[in-house]
A and B are shown apart, each in its own frame.
Chain A
Amino acid sequence: MSDLLKDPLILRQIIMDHYEYPRNHHLVEDETYHKAHMASESCIDDITVMAKIENNVIQDVCFDGIACTISTASTSIMSELLIGKTLEEATEIISEYYKMVELLPYDEEMLQEAVAFHQVGKQANRIKCATIGFKAIETCIKEHKHDQ
């Protein structure tokens, strides 16, 4: 993993790939999903993330909207990373991701492809883009817990 971090070409490839072919890039008409619309963060990104949470596990995540490369790719990576995780695992991954974005020590293994954004914190104006999807899924999790 550490070697990967040293190769910006591979990291760029990961981001390009998730931007050009975003995973789980659709929305569903399903009342059992939680939904978070993130439009107020900046004038530009307008993303909706939906998540199905059952038996304490994130069963599905999907998203759509207008967004820059970093928001699209990071939200796509987030969706792959969190599907199938328990809420405790997901919360931990999200928290490690935030640490990384703030340029603090973090667990590389846990973040997998999301390490592509390990330097984004150096561009303060892009932090919002890199965290928009994670903020959205947090909202979904919070809503789920509130409903329980």
Chain B
Amino acid sequence: MFEVGKIRQDFPFLMKAEQADPQLVYLDNAATTLKPQSVIDAVVRYYTESSVNIHRGDYALSYEVSNAYEGVRKTVAKFIQCEPNEVVFTSGASAALNLVAYGYAEKVLKQEDVILMSEAEHASNVLPWFRVAEKTGAKIEYLPLDEEGVLTLEGFKEALHDKVKIVTLAHISNVLGAVVPIKEITALTHQKGAIIVVDGAQSVPHTKTFVKDWDVDFLAFAGHKMLSPTGVGVLYGKFELLQQMDPFLLGGGSNARFDKNGHVVLKNPPFKFEAGTPAIEGVLGLDAAICYIEALGFEAIEQHELELKHYTVEKLKQFKHIKLYNEKSQSGIIAFNVIGIPTQDVAAYLSSLGVMVRAGNHCAKLLSEIIHTQETVRASINFYNTKAEMDIFIDALKDITLEKCIDLIF
């Protein structure tokens, strides 16, 4: 039984938010999520009880922290269903995507090769590829999307051809919440001998990930969008691809030895990619976050989030002044506009009533041609949200007017 009331008690922010006047309703979960006490405790425990560095295990405490840190690699591996040595810790999803782009793609791509992506991608999964294209002479091509930002298998098949060497796609889009059929797309990609990079920033937190079963080559995600502290993310890569990939940061921790003549022997993956002292508390916090999510179970999480999404969409559909952009998408993201009111004013108005949403283009600046709007307001749901919170959000939108938005500055 999914008891959201009980779950909420684990989140100190939510307990405060409920007492605030007006009550605060957090619906910007696609940007980052709130943290449960167990994650906060893990971070505090590291600083109060351990504090020392890892991989310098000359004394007992450092050995223990190193072990705990490596233990998280196993937790992550189990969580996304791969081997621990295929889990590279990074500073976030952006760092993970940049690492694949410069460490792998830049090394293997040649002039006239094609990188295939969609126009719904987040800037972090666009800009590194622009640079790779510029450096290698490879070309970027875009996949066809329908007006809800959905990529169909037919569309994918048509866009795929022999020159495509890399496909890079978000499993779930951060603007429209469209879910990509990743397993089928991966199979098609491999039939052409290409590699697939998956941006899992919005999917890994909300739905079960099976990298081995899906057979994806790389997958990036961020801890902070799934309850963990900021500053930690993961790049999964098939081990043989990680062996081929170059690090783009060098330094302590990533090399086995080096000499005066510049001979460097790097460690094996994943360690060769992890130069410098990492966000140790972030990684330990990620462990607590995964533990929390697994205890709830993805089945219950997805069911609850989708129920809230459908409930809200059904209500918002009744309002003539609201335009919805992704009614059908099977994720907790609701993209909409209030007709005649700029997104930022809508967000500011909702904020005055305690509701936190995001306005703008959500770092997906290429999407405007598909959905015929430069900007949207985005409400994004997480498992700790409630129907009562969605009602506050819906009520706030019910009688929003331009006048009321402007009156906020008086």
* Closest B residue, CB atoms, query A11: B410
Chain B residues whose CB sits within 8 angstroms of the CB of A125 once the complex forms: 348
Contact of B344 among A8, A68, A117, A120 (CB under 8 A): A68
For chain B, which range describes its interface: under 10, 10 to 19, 20 to 34, or 35 or more residues?
20 to 34
Proximity string of chain B (328-361) to chain A, C-beta cutoff 8 Å, 1 when within and 0 when not: 0000000000000111110010000000000111
The answer to whether A69 and B342 have CB atoms under 8 Å apart is yes
Mark out the residues of chain B between 377 and 410 whose CB falls within 8 Å of any chain A CB in the assembled complex. Answer: 402-403, 405-410
Chain A residues whose CB sits within 8 angstroms of the CB of B345 once the complex forms: 68-70
Chain B residues whose CB sits within 8 angstroms of the CB of A46 once the complex forms: 374
Evaluate whether A16 and B406 lie within 8 angstroms (CB atoms) in the complex, with A66-B374, A69-B342 already known.
yes
Verify if B375 is at the interface (C-beta below 8 Å from A): yes
The answer to whether A16 and B361 have CB atoms under 8 Å apart is no
Chain B residues whose CB sits within 8 angstroms of the CB of A67 once the complex forms: 342
Query: Interface majority SS on B: helix, strand, loop or mixed?
Result: mixed
* Closest A residue, CB atoms, query B368: A66
Smallest CB–CB gap between A33 and chain B, Å? 24
Verify if A44 is at the interface (C-beta below 8 Å from B): yes
Q: Which of B374, B402, B406, B407 has the most CB of A within 10 A?
A: B406
Distance in angstroms between the alpha carbons of A39 and B245 in the assembled complex: 36
Mark out the residues of chain A between 41 and 79 whose CB falls within 8 Å of any chain B CB in the assembled complex. Answer: 42-46, 66-70, 72
Contact of A12 among B359, B363, B410 (CB under 8 A): B410
The answer to whether B343 and A44 have CB atoms under 8 Å apart is yes
The answer to whether A126 and B348 have CB atoms under 8 Å apart is yes
The answer to whether B410 and A16 have CB atoms under 8 Å apart is no
Chain B residues whose CB sits within 8 angstroms of the CB of A117 once the complex forms: 409
Distance in angstroms between the alpha carbons of A62 and B388 in the assembled complex: 46
Verify if A140 is at the interface (C-beta below 8 Å from B): no
The answer to whether B374 and A16 have CB atoms under 8 Å apart is no
Query: Interface majority SS on A: helix, strand, loop or mixed?
Result: helix
Distance in angstroms between the alpha carbons of A66 and B344 in the assembled complex: 11
The answer to whether A69 and B405 have CB atoms under 8 Å apart is yes
* Closest B residue, CB atoms, query A45: B344
Smallest CB–CB gap between B103 and chain A, Å? 29
Verify if A36 is at the interface (C-beta below 8 Å from B): no
The answer to whether B403 and A16 have CB atoms under 8 Å apart is yes
Distance in angstroms between the alpha carbons of A99 and B406 in the assembled complex: 21
Chain A residues whose CB sits within 8 angstroms of the CB of B341 once the complex forms: 69
Chain A residues whose CB sits within 8 angstroms of the CB of B343 once the complex forms: 44, 68
Distance in angstroms between the alpha carbons of A12 and B401 in the assembled complex: 13
Distance in angstroms between the alpha carbons of A69 and B409 in the assembled complex: 11
The answer to whether B402 and A69 have CB atoms under 8 Å apart is yes
Smallest CB–CB gap between A57 and chain B, Å? 32
* Closest A residue, CB atoms, query B352: A123
Smallest CB–CB gap between A99 and chain B, Å? 17
Chain B residues whose CB sits within 8 angstroms of the CB of A72 once the complex forms: 342
The answer to whether B406 and A123 have CB atoms under 8 Å apart is no
The answer to whether B403 and A12 have CB atoms under 8 Å apart is yes
Distance in angstroms between the alpha carbons of A126 and B410 in the assembled complex: 12
Chain B residues whose CB sits within 8 angstroms of the CB of A69 once the complex forms: 341-342, 345, 402, 405-406
Verify if A129 is at the interface (C-beta below 8 Å from B): yes
Evaluate whether A70 and B409 lie within 8 angstroms (CB atoms) in the complex, with A44-B359, A126-B348 already known.
yes
Q: Which of B344, B360, B405, B407 has the most CB of A within 10 A?
A: B344
Distance in angstroms between the alpha carbons of A70 and B408 in the assembled complex: 11
The answer to whether B344 and A119 have CB atoms under 8 Å apart is no
Smallest CB–CB gap between A112 and chain B, Å? 17
The answer to whether A12 and B348 have CB atoms under 8 Å apart is no
Verify if A94 is at the interface (C-beta below 8 Å from B): no
Verify if A82 is at the interface (C-beta below 8 Å from B): no
Verify if A141 is at the interface (C-beta below 8 Å from B): no
Distance in angstroms between the alpha carbons of A36 and B108 in the assembled complex: 41
Verify if A100 is at the interface (C-beta below 8 Å from B): no
Verify if A15 is at the interface (C-beta below 8 Å from B): yes
Smallest CB–CB gap between A41 and chain B, Å? 12
B residues within 8 Å of A by Cβ?
A: 341-345, 348, 359-361, 363, 374-375, 402-403, 405-410
- Would you mind naming 15 contact pairs between A and B with Cβ atoms under 8 Å apart? A11-B410, A12-B406, A12-B410, A15-B409, A16-B403, A19-B406, A42-B344, A42-B360, A44-B343, A44-B359, A44-B360, A69-B345, A69-B402, A69-B406, A125-B348
Given contacts A44-B343, A130-B409, 13 further A-B contacts (CB under 8 A): A11-B410, A12-B406, A16-B406, A44-B344, A44-B360, A44-B361, A44-B375, A66-B374, A68-B342, A68-B345, A69-B402, A72-B342, A123-B409
Instruction: Report, nearest first, the 9 A-B pairs whose CB atoms are least far apart.
Output: A68-B344, A8-B410, A68-B342, A44-B360, A43-B360, A120-B409, A44-B344, A69-B345, A15-B406
